[in-house]
Structures are given as C-alpha cells and as structure tokens.
C-alpha cells in the first residue's frame, strides 16, 4: 500500500485563514479528505475545527469535527452525510471562525502560563471560552492573584508571537519540554522574550489579543498536581 499524500495544513502557515478552495481526495468513514485545508485537526489539547464545505453543486455540508486519520498524514472532515461527493470534486471550505479564534487565544494563553510557572506541564485542555493546564508542582506557593497579575502584564506588553519551521529544531533549547499542542512537526512557536517551544497548534499574532482571559482558579488535583483554570471573559457565550 502506498503512503497517502499528506493533507496540506494551511492553518500552519496562516492561522487566520478562514476559508479557501480544495479538491476532494477521498470520502471515508472517518470524514472527507481534501488536498488542503484550513480546518485544524484535533491535537495537543485543542479541539478540531467545525464549519462548512460547499460543493460545486451548491450543497452545504456541515463539518462537526476535524481529526487526523490513523497515521496522522491525512485530515478527515466529519460530516453527517457526504451525499454524492466524489474524489476530484472541488469544494469551498469555511471554518467557524468565532470558535476557532477563541481556541487560538486560549491556546496562546497556555503558552504564556508555561513560561510564568516554573514547573513541568503534565496536561492541558482548550475550549472556546475556557481552558486549563496542569503542572507537576508538589509544593505550591502559586497564588491565583499573582499568576493572574503576571498574565495581565504579558497581555499588556503585547508581545509578538511567531511560528516558524526550523531545521534541527528537535532537541533545542525550549522553555518547557512538554508543550501544549505538541505535535509531530518541527514547528517552533516563540513569544518574544518569554516562551519558545515546539507546537503544531494555532496561535494569535501578539499577546494583546488575549485581553479578557483571566486565571479563574488554581486547585490541587493530587499531591503533586496543580490545575490552573482560565476563563475568557471576552467570549460572550461558552460554546462547549
Ligand atoms: Zn501552541
């Protein structure tokens, strides 16, 4: 069996791309595979995108989730009924931007917390309007008020965020080894003067875009684990 051609991940070059044109490569039980997509596929604690695919015949297919197929090369856009869509057909894709942008903001906020808390990260979860990150931190002097003040300072500094493909990036010097959204690429995400880590997720362009995100609470999950919960006060309704 030949190795399938990977789906071109347009969200890696431009996280702000909301729509585009693509060609159908396969229609599978795990979703519609396109030659390229702006839909982020679930990974690193960030949910898969939702949105629509418009067919040349004028049908609108609602994408309810986006996930990698086994092998993580191809991306499946999950729809209830693909109709008579065939390989070779052209579709216009549109992502649910409001939801995705909340994910991008929360994801980037978790990078900031990685840099602010001096402890290994053991897990994270990203939603539209809220998020959390777990630290291996047995003795915690971590106070919600202090951590929130540090986060608000970084937001006020409006630090640029860059994502670049870097050669030999594995084994480099990073803020943390365990990154939120750690992927299988050699993509390195940097928040100027603060954080640098390999990550395949989607991020905002500068920390000023995180305004409204606050540290909601810090709680003790176990003897060694502290969970920091974030709330996005700029997200008017919590979609998930
Ligand atoms: Zn990231």
What is d(CA 104, CA 47) in angstroms, rounded to the nearest whole number?
10
**Together in a domain, 74 and 178:** no
Those residues with Cβ within 8 angstroms of residue 132's Cβ, 6 or more apart along the chain or in another chain: 124, 125, 227, 228, 229, 230
What is d(CA 179, CA 113) in angstroms, rounded to the nearest whole number?
11
CA angle 151, 153, 154 (to 5 degrees): 65
**Together in a domain, 79 and 105:** no
Cα(101) to centroid(ligand 1), Å? 13
List the structure tokens of 70: 């086994």
Instruction: With respect to residue 227, please indicate whether it lies within any of the assigned structural domains.
Output: yes
Per-residue pLDDT tens digits for 65-80: 999 999 999 999 999 9
| CATH code of the domain in which 79 resides | 2.40.30.130
Largest interatomic CA distance in the chain = 61
List the structure tokens of 108: 């980037």
Domain span at 125: 100-232
pTM over 0.75: yes
231 touches 130 (CB < 8 A): yes
Cα(2) to centroid(ligand 1), Å? 31
**Together in a domain, 105 and 38:** no
Instruction: With respect to residue 3, please indicate whether it lies within any of the assigned structural domains.
Output: no
Cα(32) to centroid(ligand 1), Å? 26
Cα(179) to centroid(ligand 1), Å? 7
What is the helix (H) or strand (E) element at residue 215, kind and residue range?
strand 213-220
Query: Residue-wise pLDDT tens for the chain (240 aa)?
Result: 578 899 999 999 899 999 999 999 999 999 999 999 999 999 988 999 999 999 999 999 999 999 999 999 999 999 999 999 999 999 999 999 999 999 999 999 999 999 999 999 999 999 999 999 999 998 778 899 999 999 999 999 999 999 988 765 555 566 654 444 444 446 899 999 999 988 889 999 999 999 999 999 999 988 889 999 999 998 865 444
Per-residue pLDDT tens digits for 90-144: 999 999 999 999 999 999 999 999 999 999 999 999 999 999 999 999 877 889 9
Instruction: With respect to residue 237, please indicate whether it lies within any of the assigned structural domains.
Output: no
């Amino acid at each position: 069996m030949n190795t399938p051609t990977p789906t071109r991940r347009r969200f890696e070059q431009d996280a702000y791309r909301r729509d585009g044109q693509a060609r159908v490569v396969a229609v599978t039980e795990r979703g519609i595979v396109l030659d390229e997509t702006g839909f982020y596929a679930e990974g690193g604690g960030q949910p898969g995108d939702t949105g629509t695919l418009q067919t040349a015949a004028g049908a609108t297919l609602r994408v309810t989730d986006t996930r990698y197929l086994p092998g993580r090369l191809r991306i499946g856009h999950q729809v209830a009924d693909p109709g008579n869509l065939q390989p070779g057909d052209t579709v216009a894709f549109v992502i649910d931007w409001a939801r995705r942008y909340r994910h991008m903001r929360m994801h980037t906020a978790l990078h900031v917390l990685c840099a602010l808390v001096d402890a290994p990260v053991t897990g994270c979860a990203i939603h539209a309007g809220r998020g959390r990150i777990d630290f291996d931190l047995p003795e915690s002097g971590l106070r919600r008020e202090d951590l929130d003040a540090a986060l608000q300072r970084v937001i006020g500094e409006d630090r640029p965020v860059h994502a670049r493909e870097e050669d030999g990036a594995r084994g480099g010097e990073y803020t943390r080894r365990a990154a939120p959204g750690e992927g299988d690429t050699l993509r390195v995400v940097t928040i100027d003067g603060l954080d640098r880590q390999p990550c395949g997720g989607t991020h905002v362009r500068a920390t000023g875009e995180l305004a409204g995100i606050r540290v909601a609470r810090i709680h003790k999950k176990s003897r060694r684990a502290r969970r920091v919960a974030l709330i996005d006060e700029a997200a008017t309704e919590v979609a998930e």
